[in-house]
Structure 1
């Protein structure tokens, strides 16, 4: 798996997103939370991921978008390390649940912990 975050790997389906929040399981490492669901896709992608930041905590769209960019970049850099040997397909939604604006270093460190927890939890299932 390469380190790009292509259009095929983005979680866009409204049906799948609502199913993800209804039936999915979650892992969290404050200030990040990941909701995931084992699923199957038509294309060959292993993981489809989306990011979200609460409007309640960040009123201005500029700040929400900055945090989403940080989340996507941290995910993009770490995904090859964690998702290379996955055999099942997953839909993921990464949520930022903190109240103050983070730095990239903080997000990156927490993303590593979050993905580690995700891999540990899914290998037990």
Structure 2
């Protein structure tokens, strides 16, 4: 089966209740400037991205960073799927004040996802 690299509606984290529970009870893993908060769930893999309004005052800048985060996740999510890591709710946060380029975000996303994989996959 060929894995399509998509990030569709079913994968997006939209539930306010799930987001509140995630930040209340979730664990986190970091690969600066990215941080991921995660919690196990009974559903499929759900992912959200967030950029601080405090660091990026202009909406166009926040939206650009979010777009980069989503694209980097979309291209690298096979790391999770290949290891059967589903049933998680993830929130990927960008915690730096500097505007990133795609190479940085992509490299850090790979690091972040492998750290996450190492934490949740028991040897």
Q: What TM-score, normalized by structure 1, do the two folds share? A: 0.92
Once the two structures are overlaid, the 10-residue window that deviates more, 75-84 or 65-74, is 75-84
**1:57-85 CA-partner distances (Å, limit 9, x unpaired):** 00000000000000000000000133233
Shift of 1:86: 1.7
Given that residues 80 and 86 in structure 2 are in contact (C-alpha distance below 8 angstroms), is that contact kept between their aligned partners in structure 1?
no
- For 1:101 and 1:111, locate their aligned partners in 2 and report how far apart those are by CA, in whole Å: 15
Corresponding residue pairs, total = 121
- In structure 1, what is the equivalent of residue 111 of structure 2? 113
Do residues 91 (structure 1) and 93 (structure 2) align?
no
Q: Which segments of 5 or more consecutive residues in structure 2 lack a partner in the other structure?
A: none
RMSD: 1.3
Q: Does 1:11 align with 2:13?
A: yes
Q: Which string of whole-angstrom CA distances, capped at 9 and with x for unpartnered residues, describes residues 15-37 of structure 1?
A: 00000000000000100000000
* Counterpart mapping for 1:65-80 below 5 A: 65-80=63-78
Q: Do the aligned residues in 2 keep the contact of 1:2 with 1:80 (CA within 8 Å)?
A: no
1:49 to 47, 50, 57: 47
- Aligned to 2:77, what secondary structure does the other structure show? helix
